[in-house]
Structure 1
Amino acid sequence: MSSRRDFIRQGSLIGAATLLQPASLLASAGAQTQTMHTPHSKWADGSRLIISVSMQFEAGGEPANAESPFPHNMQAGYTDLPAQTWYAYGYKEGIPRMLDLWDKFGIKVTSHMVGSAVLKNPDLAREIVTRGHEAAAHGMNWATQYTMPYEEERRFIKEGADAVHKVTGATPVGYNANWLRRGDNTLKILQELGFRYHIDDISRDEPYILQVNEKDFAVVPYTLRCNDIVLIEGRHFSAGQFLEQLKLEFNQLYEESATRRRMMSVSFHDRIGGTPQVVQAAKEFFAFAAAQKGVVFRTKKDIADMTLQDKTSIRE
């Protein structure tokens, strides 16, 4: 099974290959994409730009000897004890620190919760929901979901969501697969189980609607561009570089939002986004963004519901 670092390296190679495409092909692709934009679209609530923040609750649900910043040189038959402490930081320090940050700015986030992580740290999972944040599903564990037969995948998704509901009392309506790698049956299963949206998509900077099982189903796009595990852990960005990335992304989307419905997605992982320097960077970014006219923060559930109710939403 490919590691997260392999995924990041592959993404970099694909990006480089794209830059080497002939200009004529890129221009043609751009022209085709442009026709799919909805001109002069607006958010139904009157917002100019919506920022959607994810807080991944994964630590505690990782497999034995999971990937970590430590060298991959463990001998077979032994436990990587230092790596366990890296993950433990996520629930001991990371999420509590981020929860205080969200409170400081009055931001409500979407927490994608791995079922086994929630069962291991139920008090923390409950606190997330008690503080008013959305509990979304993120599988039962870190298993490779896209290879599962239909019924096995259905059980996997349901068990993860049931664990979240059992501990927090909240019923997840949004879903995120491990590394966004859903299978051919995933959306059908989600629709059957009562989910209303998924985030395993990076094709747009605004939500849209799909028909799944002949019913509307929302897509609230995720991000690799403003994602701490990709940039900080995978590419070794400093906290300052991450902050600059967030500001550059915001500035472009805010400019476009004068005439088009735009959404900015930002993703934090418990053991990375909850470190002191990243929280400081996030604090500076949120202060900057919140000071701009028409900027609001919404959970992905709220964005999905708004999208499903809006007759002007993009449909694919």
Structure 2
Amino acid sequence: MSSRRSFIRQGGLITAAGLLAGPVPFSAVATPTTDTAAAPQARKSKWSDGSRLVISVSMQFEAGGQPENAESPFPQNMQKGYKDLPSATWYQYGYKEGIPRMLDNWGKLGVKITSHMVGSAVLKNPKLAKEIVERGHEAAAHGMNWSTQYTMSYEDEKKFIKDGVDAIKQVTGFTAIGYNANWLRRGENTLKILQELGFLYHIDDLSRDEPFIQQVNGKDFVTVPYTIRCNDILLIEGKNFSTDQFVNQVKMEFDQLYEEAENTRRQMSISFHDRIGGTPQMVQATKELFTYMKQHNGVSFKRKDEIARLCLEDNTSIRE
């Protein structure tokens, strides 16, 4: 496989050949560089714990905290003043069947995940929230409810985030240090607030395939990137993918990242929602996918708080 440097050199030769073949407008000719050592190369990096590829799994605990008549698979044609009763049962499936089934599956696979918990959903189903933590999974904050966060004032947003953290702490005893905004739509002040409240990382970023560090309020703060490419609410619910399509897409993502991970630190993110990822066919799909992944040397599944700490402790981590 040719390197980026070889590709760039080859491109230069092709350009030269084109010049010999005939006149080219001056505006179309790039200024040549004489320092070939300055050609960009792929950055080489590794996970400090020896992993080749790290898999980061999210499980959203949202059902029970949704607003009345929230979006659902049913036509959005309810008349005002009436409750969408079948839609409510779709959400109830998330905590009655979905999360319990996923928890059993994670246990059988030996995988630890990060659960992004809406505070009001936790208060409605405290035993289930506590079980998630007792099974060794991370509880991360996901707001107090489904309110639009980016429109809030600084103080209102700070209270909104803290209320969600307090609900998780009250029920599970776990202090959340990771954050996920509703639909990733954080506001201009969100990271500053998270840093003030003692958070270590957030996930509302799609810009990389590995964690990175940035300065917030003059201190290190980690981004553990999220995904919409390997996300059940986008693919299964949003695009009506079959489980076969979901498996194929996620497997292709894994294969490419595993290949890149020979030389570069790579993280793969996969996301499941309580009422979608916890259905029988999706749990079977997940079992097939994770069994395949675990057959590859150097693959490790980590909670997002573990990934954030690895990133902070590694002086080769990307800083922005």
TM-score where L is the length of structure 2: 0.87
Count of residues in correspondence between the two structures: 283
Does residue 109 of structure 2 align to residue 142 of structure 1?
Answer: no
Matched residue, 1:44: 48
Q: What is the root-mean-square deviation of aligned Cα atoms in Å?
A: 1.2
Runs of 4+ that moved beyond 6 A: none
Looking at structure 2, the residues matched to 211 and 76 of structure 1 have their Cα atoms a distance apart, in angstroms, of 46
Q: CA deviation at 1:168?
A: 0.2
Matched, 1:218 2:222: yes
Instruction: Give the fraction of aligned pairs with identical amino acids, expressed as a percent.
Output: 71
Query: Which of 97, 100, 109 in structure 1 is aligned with 2:113?
Result: 109
In 1, the alpha carbon distance for the partners of 2:174 and 2:76 equals 38
1:174 is aligned to 2:178: yes
Task: State the 1:105 CA deviation.
Answer: 1.0
Choose which of 270, 288, 293 in structure 2 pairs with 1:289. Answer: 293
Query: Within 2, Cα distance between the matches of 1:70 and 1:118?
Result: 25
Amino acid across the alignment from 2:116: H
Q: 1:59 aligns with which of 58, 63, 66?
A: 63
Choose from 227, 232, 237 the match for 2:236.
232
Q: Secondary structure at the match of 1:211?
A: strand
Determine if contact 1:113/1:137 at 8 Å carries over to the other structure. Answer: yes
* Deviation string, structure 1 residues 274-294 (Cα, Å, up to 9, x no partner): 000010000000000001000
**Which amino acid is 2:230 matched to?**
C
Question: Which residue, 171, 183, 189 being the options, matches 2:187?
Answer: 183
In structure 1, how many angstroms separate the alpha carbons of the residues matched to 2:162 and 2:93?
A: 28
- Residue 145 of structure 1 aligns to a residue whose secondary structure is coil
- Which residue, out of 98, 102, 109, partners 1:98? 102
The separation in 1 between residues aligned to 2:147 and 2:312, in whole angstroms, is: 30
Determine the structure 2 residue equivalent to 1:13.
none
- Asked if 2 retains the 8 angstrom alpha-carbon contact of 1:38 and 1:314, the reply is no
Letter of the 1:158 counterpart: K
Gaps of 5+ in 2: 1-27, 29-38
- Deviation of 1:249 after TM superposition, in Å, equals 0.2
SS in 1 for 2:74: coil
**Bigger helix share:** 1
Q: Please show how residues 1-316 of structure 1 align to structure 2 within 5 Å.
A: 39-316=43-320
8 Å CA contact 1:210, 1:315 repeated in 2? yes
Q: Deviations over 1:263-304 (max 9, x none)?
A: 000000000000000100000000000010000000000000
SS of equivalent residue, structure 1 residue 242: helix
The aligned amino acid for 2:99 is I
Aligned residue for 1:272, secondary structure, equals coil
Residues in 2 aligned to 1:306 and 1:101: alpha-carbon distance in whole angstroms: 26
Query: What's the offset of the Cα at 1:38?
Result: 6.6
The whole-number CA distance in structure 1 between the counterparts of 2:171 and 2:242 is: 35
- TM-superposition CA deviations, 1:203-256 (whole Å, max 9, x none): 000000010000000000000000000000000001110000110000000000
1:157-196 deviations in Å (ceiling 9; x for gaps): 0000110000000000000000000000000000000000
CA–CA separation in structure 1 for the residues paired with 2:178 and 2:73: 30
Q: After superposition, give the CA deviation of every residue in 1:45-96 in whole Å (9 maximum; x if it has no partner).
A: 0000000000000000000000000011111100000000000000000000
8 Å Cα contact 1:90/1:270 also seen in 2: yes
Q: Distance in 2 between matches of 1:146 and 1:76?
A: 26
- Name stretches of at least 5 consecutive residues in structure 1 with no aligned partner: 1-23, 25-33
